[in-house]
């Protein structure tokens, strides 16, 4: 059966190829880029990245080089980032770090107060500042950057501003002491950028090395914690991953779920790191958990 144009247009929402990061505020958007164009740039970039990772994995250097050329011909990471910013609108969710700060405030992180610089003049709390590592940062003015109780270190594979270090989180030198660790790590729409399942598992594992251990007297606090955002279909419509399986993966690394929010487009989660993995170290292979023809193949493998 040939799918009609209308059917293609009225897309199946659960397919990853139809998602994009819909939460960046577009007040500064370039009006020239239509939603369709930005979605297409993002989708193509993800597909090519994935094909490139597969070619590298299979040792096909010629194919990898060819795909790399295509990635560059399509504008590369730079164009993808522009599309990520310009293709989004506040009505579609806005800045995801608003969810993070709302949760930190709701969970009564000591010193965390609502609003910009809300701890000004409050003598009753000694000033608490928490170190946040924002991986995959595209902005220096989002909600988490506007809280005085957060000191934000921003990194991205391609820095768009002097306030963002150009750095691959996977190549960031491992901490030598707690001075190099963080209270909070944010991976907003970053895990799904990683083109292969093993790489995603490695990224999750690596977060544990960058978080400060919980002090004995601070067990009620939400920190140290990991905030992440994923396109909803990664967890709601994947053959290989759903929320229970992700929870088992995270718990095996020592995380416990504090907050979880699912919208039609995105899943937001906040995980506290206990420093104590539950049980023996576990491996998670690529296992089908949700069979079905209209599902995507998003997967996290932990070796
Ligand atoms: C879709 S954008 C998301 C940006 C922003 N966090 C958001 O929520 O809108 C993904 C960003 O993650 C960055 N990224 C992906 N893997 C990364 C890594 N290993 N280290 C640093 N940045 C990374 C990419 O360069 C890209 O700018």
| pLDDT over threshold 50, residue 215 | yes
Q: What is the pLDDT of residue 211?
A: 96
Residue 282: inside a domain, yes or no? no
ipTM of the complex in this document: 0.99
How far is the centre of ligand 1, averaged over its atoms, from the C-alpha of 203 (Å)? 12
Q: What integer best gives the mean pLDDT of the chain?
A: 84
Q: What is the pLDDT of residue 16?
A: 63
pLDDT digits (tens, 9 = 90+) for 189-209: 999 999 999 999 999 999 999
* Ligand 1 probe mutation, 22, 81, 90, 156, most atoms within 8 A of CB: 156
| pLDDT over threshold 90, residue 147 | yes
Ligand 1 closest atom vs CA 155? 21
Residue 3: inside a domain, yes or no? no
Distance CA 168, CA 162 (A): 16
Mark whether 46 and 168 lie in a shared domain: no
What is the residue with the minimal CA distance to atom 25 of ligand 1?
A: 157
Q: Is 95 in the pocket of ligand 1 (CB under 6 A)?
A: no
Q: Is 15 in the pocket of ligand 1 (CB under 6 A)?
A: no
Torsion angle defined by CA atoms of residues 74, 46, 143 and 159, in that order, rounded to the nearest 10 degrees? -50
pLDDT digits (tens, 9 = 90+) for 26-47: 334 344 577 778 888 888 898 8
Residue 63: inside a domain, yes or no? yes
Count the neighbouring beta carbons within 10 Å of the beta carbon of residue 1: 4
Q: Is 238 in the pocket of ligand 1 (CB under 6 A)?
A: no
* Ligand 1 probe mutation, 24, 143, 193, 194, most atoms within 8 A of CB: 193
| pLDDT over threshold 60, residue 156 | yes
- Give me the CATH number covering residue 254: 3.40.50.150
Window from 79-83, 179-183, 286-290 with minimum mean pLDDT: 79-83
CA distances from 278 to 116, 203, 223 (A): 37, 19, 18
Higher pLDDT, 123 or 185: 185
Mark whether 131 and 227 lie in a shared domain: yes
């Amino acid at each position: 059966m040939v799918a009609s144009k209308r059917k293609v247009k009225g897309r199946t929402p659960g397919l990853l190829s139809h998602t994009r990061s819909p939460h960046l505020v577009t007040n500064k958007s370039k009006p020239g880029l239509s939603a369709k164009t930005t979605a297409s740039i993002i989708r193509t970039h993800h597909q090519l990245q994935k094909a490139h990772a597969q070619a590298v994995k299979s040792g096909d250097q010629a194919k990898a080089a060819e795909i790399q050329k295509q990635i560059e011909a399509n504008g590369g990471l730079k164009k993808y980032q522009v599309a990520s910013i310009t293709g989004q609108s506040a009505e579609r969710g806005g800045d995801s770090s608003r969810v993070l700060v709302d949760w930190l405030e709701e969970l009564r992180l000591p010193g965390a107060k609502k609003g910009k610089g809300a701890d000004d003049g409050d003598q009753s709390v000694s000033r608490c500042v928490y170190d946040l590592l924002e991986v995959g940062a595209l902005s220096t003015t989002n909600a988490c950057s506007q809280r005085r109780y957060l000191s934000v270190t921003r990194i991205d594979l391609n820095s768009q501003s002097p306030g963002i270090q150009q750095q691959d989180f996977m190549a960031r030198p491992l901490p030598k002491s707690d001075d190099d660790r963080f209270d909070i790590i944010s991976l907003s729409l970053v895990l799904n950028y990683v083109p292969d399942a093993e790489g995603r598992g490695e990224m999750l594992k690596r977060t544990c090395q960058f978080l400060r251990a919980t002090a004995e007297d601070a067990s009620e606090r939400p920190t140290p914690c990991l905030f992440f955002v994923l396109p909803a279909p990664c967890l709601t419509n994947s053959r290989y991953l759903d929320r229970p399986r992700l929870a088992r993966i995270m718990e095996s690394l020592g995380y416990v779920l504090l907050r979880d929010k699912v919208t039609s487009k995105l899943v937001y989660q906040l995980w506290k790191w206990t420093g104590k993995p539950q049980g023996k170290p576990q491996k998670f292979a690529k296992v089908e958990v949700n069979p079905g023809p209209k599902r995507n193949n998003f997967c996290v493998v932990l070796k």
